[in-house]
Amino acid sequence: MAKKLLALLLAIGFTSTIYAQNTPTTSPAASMPAKKKMATGAGDEKAIKKAFDGLAKAWNGGDANGVASYFTSDATLINPMGQQGQGHDGVLQIITGDLTGPLKGTEQSFSDFTFTYIMPNMYLVDATATLTGMTAPDGTAAPPASFHFFGVIVNRGKVWQARAARIFASLQPPSAASPLAATTPVASGVSVK
**pLDDT > 70? residue 105:** yes
From the CB of residue 183, how many other CB atoms can be counted at a distance below 10 Å? Answer: 13
Give the pLDDT band of residue 51 (cuts 50, 70, 90): very high
> How far apart are the C-alpha atoms of 79 and 69, rounded to whole Å?
16
Domain-embedded: residue 1: no
> How far apart are the C-alpha atoms of 129 and 117, rounded to whole Å?
21
Cβ(76)–Cβ(165) under 8 Å? Answer: yes
Question: What does the pLDDT read at residue 25?
Answer: 46
**pLDDT > 80? residue 28:** no
Give the pLDDT band of residue 180 (cuts 50, 70, 90): low
Domain-embedded: residue 179: no
Domain-embedded: residue 75: yes
> How far apart are the C-alpha atoms of 191 and 193, rounded to whole Å?
7
Q: 72-81 burial string, b = 16+ CB within 10 Å, else e? A: beebbbbbbe
**pLDDT > 50? residue 48:** yes
Percent of the chain residues topping a pLDDT of 70:
69
Contacts for 95 with CB less than 8 Å, ≥ 6 apart? 64, 67, 68, 77, 85
Give the pLDDT band of residue 174 (cuts 50, 70, 90): confident
Residue 144 belongs to domain with CATH number: 3.10.450.50
Question: What does the pLDDT read at residue 40?
Answer: 57
Higher pLDDT, 131 or 182: 131
| Interval 53-62: pLDDT, tens | 999 999 999 9
**pLDDT > 60? residue 193:** no
Number of domains in the chain: 1
Q: Which residue segment(s) compose the domain that 86 sits in?
A: 42-168
Domain-embedded: residue 188: no
What's the chain's average pLDDT? 80
Question: What does the pLDDT read at residue 71?
Answer: 98
Cβ(181)–Cβ(174) under 8 Å? Answer: yes
Give the pLDDT band of residue 137 (cuts 50, 70, 90): confident
Domain-embedded: residue 132: yes
**pLDDT > 80? residue 39:** no
Domain-embedded: residue 88: yes
Domain-embedded: residue 70: yes
Domain-embedded: residue 178: no
